[in-house]
Amino acid sequence: MNDVPSPIDLRNYDDALEWQITANVKRPWRQDFFGYYTKLIRTQTVDKCQVLELGSGPGFLAQHILSQLFHVEYTAFDFSDAMHRLAQQKLNSAERSRARYLIGNFKEANWKNALAQKYDYIIIHQALHELRHKKYATDFHKAVKTLLNPKGHYLVCDHLCAPDAMKNDQLYMNKQEHLDALKQASFENIKMPLEIEGLCLFEMIME
């Protein structure tokens, strides 16, 4: 039940840059998920809305959303200053004015206190496993729930543990384990709108 060490240090600029260079090449279908989030926000919200991305990395999703949805204000939360620097380089000044970058570590107690507001959409894409063990998922989801506005959406996309996907069953969860963790955090009506090549999206809406 020990944490699974990470093979790279994403707070290191070279490691962050390497991740940026390879992520979309290895998994071009990431764009399908980004397209899903963007379409969802476009069709569900017309007034100004608050989006929080946890483990936002080099800012691919922020750039995708901010360049298309002008009513979005984006909060990017990550423990890596190197990732935030890469993310900010992707935005023009108008996009940049609707984005804020927070340094924080979601493995620390009370990590959510730094966020100090509620959100209409909270997205964690390919970063839930950065908790470094699946045993932390339920408490993480519980913390996220307190940050959502009424009718807010929680979107969790991560690699599945499955024969044709990821094999480490301490780091990655199978579908049922994801569903159990979300239900234990009192999320109901869990949808799975998209699954491609072992990446699976779970979508929850607050009552």
**Interface with ligand SAM by CB under 6 A: which residues?**
10, 23, 55-57, 60-61, 78-80, 83, 105-107, 125-127, 130
Q: Which is nearer to ligand SAM, 50 or 80 (CB)?
A: 80
CA-to-CA separations, 125 to 94, 99, 131, 189, 195, in angstroms, rounded:
24, 18, 13, 20, 13
Q: Report, in Å, the least distance between residue 44 CB and ligand SAM.
A: 21
Within the chain, where are the H helices?
A: 13-26, 30-44, 60-66, 81-88, 93-96, 137-145, 175-184
Q: Report, in Å, the least distance between residue 30 CB and ligand SAM.
A: 7
Q: Report, in Å, the least distance between residue 18 CB and ligand SAM.
A: 11
Q: Which is nearer to ligand SAM, 150 or 195 (CB)?
A: 195
Q: Which is nearer to ligand SAM, 45 or 56 (CB)?
A: 56
The DSSP letter of residue 132 is S
Closest residue to ligand SAM, Cβ-based? Answer: 57
Nearest to 153 by CA among 43, 31, 59: 43
- Judged by DSSP in three states, 65 sits in helix
Q: Report, in Å, the least distance between residue 107 CB and ligand SAM.
A: 4
Q: Which is nearer to ligand SAM, 39 or 47 (CB)?
A: 39
The DSSP letter of residue 114 is G
